[in-house]
Chains A and B, each alone.
Chain A
Amino acid sequence: MEMKVIDHATCTFCGCVCDDIQLHADETRIHQAKKACVLGKAWFLNHTAERKYPDALIDGKEATVDEAIEAASEYLYQADMPLVYGMSNTTCEAQRQCVALADNLGALLDSHTSL
């Protein structure tokens, strides 16, 4: 099977953010993460492109992303004091959206740092 090779991939498992990882991947999973440490290997090899989980859940029942976004927005909109929390295992681009979300909502905003 044809393997896709990605040089200089970046590992986001820990704060070191190594950016010299070589990944060998097929369509659904990463088979090799060269130069990665034990933690990094586990990080890359444990994620797949499979559809392991439902797209979304509302009250524990499967839902579409559109429905879930609508429901999430409504909860956030109705709240008197919403909280936006986390932002560790995600990209800066998503974090910027989160800060915008908190600003627009008048929410509390906090990251892992405060723990």
Chain B
Amino acid sequence: MVLVDIRETKSVKAADIFLQVRPGKDFELITILRAMIKDQPISETQIAETGLTMEQLQDFVSRMKAARFGVMFFGMGLSMTRGKHMNSAALLTLAAEMNAFTKFVAMPMRGHGNVTGADVIMRSQTGYPFGISFNRGYPRYNPGEFSTVDVLVRGDTDCAFIIGADPGATMPQPAIDHLARIPTIVLDPHVTHTSRLSRVHITTAPAGISAPGTAYRMDEIPLPLHPALESPYPSDEEVVRRINETLMKKPDWMGERPQILQTQI
């Protein structure tokens, strides 16, 4: 096991090799590795800016190539620092390119409980994993345009429905300010930061504790939940279903549109 991090974490003990990369140099390091696996010349000085040495990286590359089945796990240290999605893209590309030599896969270490389930379901029902708009009556995808932080900071929305998340505690202040400005609806087992700035809060049973159902493991294996308690509150599913049913009774909001659109906007 090779561990790459900017500092010596507790996981170092479990690792055979620890490579300490300079903060903010993940993308550079992975890009160098992409070049090295293809035997492209990279100089010692060029490697130096990542905080590592030629020797370390050559050893690393030969170990990767010698592996029979390699797995790269990556976490938020990669995807949430400067470069963001491009850092993850770099690692995924490296993993893909390693398949020219041996079997390799890359897997994001997702936090936040069942975020994988959301991803899987959005993909199957809409074709896209996140950052979706249905405003034209069909799914469109554009992270940056339709992703929540951007939408809130720009003030592009006039009503927010928040479930299984607490953006009021985690998002940048301008986004939180906008949530407070517009009608916000929160479903959560607790009264959260977001609940406090919302117009409507509904307490729901926590998933897996007192609400049954399914959750996806980060490798996209669905697992059944076995709640141990009986909640005095309804489940998220029940509340959202009832909201859907209530909305279905109201007149359709959509004007004349064709059933099938041959050319999308």
Please give the residue numbers on chain A whose beta carbons come within 8 Å of chain B beta carbons, in ascending order: 4, 6, 8-17, 19, 23, 25, 27-30, 43-44, 47-60, 65, 68-73, 75-115
Contact = CB atoms under 8 A, between A and B. Distances in A.
Interface stretch (B27-35, B43-51, B56-64, B110-118): B110-118
A98 B248 CA distance: 14
Interface of B: 80, 109-122, 125-126, 129-137, 139, 143, 146-149, 151-152, 156-165, 167, 170, 183, 185, 187, 189-191, 195-196, 198-203, 206-218, 221-226, 228-237, 239-244, 246-248, 250, 253-254
A54 B133 CA distance: 33
A42 B210 CA distance: 15
User: 7 smallest A-B Cβ distances: which pairs?
Assistant: A91-B213, A86-B165, A79-B159, A94-B236, A15-B218, A15-B110, A90-B164
A47 B157 contact: no
Main secondary structure of the interface of A (DSSP, over half): mixed
Contacts of A59: 199
Contacts of B152: 83
Contact of A55 (B158, B203, B211, B253): B203
Given A8-B226, A85-B165, A91 B115 contact: no
Contact of B162 (A11, A14, A86): A86
A40 to B, nearest CB: 10
A11 B250 CA distance: 38
Contact of A94 (B115, B139, B164, B221): B164
